[in-house]
Amino acid sequence: MSTAYAPSHDIAVGANPFSRRAVLAIVLIGTLLFVALLWMIGTGAGMGSPNNGKAHAASKGVTGYAAMTDYLDRRGYAVRQVRNEGALDKPGLLVLTPPAFASGKDIEKIVSARRYIGPTLVITPKWLELPPARDQSGAKKGWVRLGGTQAPHWEGFLDDVTVDLGKVDANGQEAKWDGLGLSGTLPDRKHVLWGEGDRLVPLVTERDGRILAALIDDGGTYPALEDLAKQPMQSEIEDEDRYPLVIVFEPDLLNNYGMASRDSARLIDALVPAMEVGADGPILFDLTLNGLGRSDNLLTLAFTPPFLAATLCLLLAAVIVGWRAFLRFGPPFAPDRAIAFGKRALVANAAGLVRRSGRLHLLAGPYAERSRTRLMQALALPHTLAPEQAGEAIDRALASRHGDVEPFTAIVARLKAARRPQDLLKAARDLHALERMLMR
Residues 92, 234, single domain; the answer is yes
Whether residue 11 is contained in a domain is answered as no
For the chain, the domain total comes to: 3
Whether residue 336 is contained in a domain is answered as no
Evaluate whether 174 touches 192 at the Cβ level (below 8 Å): no
Residues 75, 207, single domain; the answer is yes
Interior/surface letters 126-163, b for 16+ CB within 10 angstroms, e for the rest: bbebeebeeeeeeeeebbbbbeebebbebeebbeebeb
Residues 233, 311, single domain; the answer is no
Beta strands in 210-328 (DSSP E): 211-216, 245-248, 282-286
Query: What is the domain range of residue 401?
Result: 345-438
In order of 39, 78, 242, 243, the CA distances from 275 in angstroms are 35, 15, 12, 8
Residues 282, 427, single domain; the answer is no
3-state secondary structure at position 286: strand
Whether residue 105 is contained in a domain is answered as yes
Bond prior to 306 in cis (omega within 30° of 0): yes
Residues 125 and 86: their CA atoms lie apart, in Å, by 24
Residues 120, 269, single domain; the answer is yes
DSSP class of residue 289 equals G
Residues 170, 246, single domain; the answer is yes
Q: What is the CA radius of gyration of the chain?
A: 38
Residues 222, 369, single domain; the answer is no
In order of 59, 168, 169, 177, 183, the CA distances from 173 in angstroms are 30, 7, 6, 12, 16
Whether residue 350 is contained in a domain is answered as yes
pTM of the model: 0.60
- Reading the chain (440 residues) residue by residue, the pLDDT tens digits are 444 444 444 445 455 666 777 877 888 888 888 878 877 766 666 556 777 778 899 898 889 999 999 999 999 999 999 887 878 888 999 999 999 989 999 999 999 999 999 999 999 999 988 887 776 777 777 777 888 888 898 999 999 999 998 877 655 677 889 999 999 999 887 889 999 999 999 999 998 889 999 999 988 889 999 999 988 888 777 788 899 999 999 999 999 999 989 999 999 999 999 998 988 889 999 999 988 766 666 666 777 777 788 888 988 898 888 777 777 655 556 666 665 566 677 777 777 776 776 667 777 888 888 888 888 888 888 888 888 888 888 888 888 888 788 888 888 888 888 888 888 888 889 888 888 888 77
| For helices 364-378 and 421-438, angle between their N-to-C axes, nearest 10 degrees | 10
Residues 127, 165, single domain; the answer is yes
Whether residue 417 is contained in a domain is answered as yes
pLDDT for the residue numbered 188: 84
Residues 260, 350, single domain; the answer is no
Whether residue 362 is contained in a domain is answered as yes
Residues 113, 186, single domain; the answer is yes
Residues 75, 28, single domain; the answer is no
- Strand partners for 182: 179
Q: Which domain CATH number covers 102?
A: 3.40.50
Residues 283, 309, single domain; the answer is no
Whether residue 12 is contained in a domain is answered as no
Whether residue 386 is contained in a domain is answered as yes
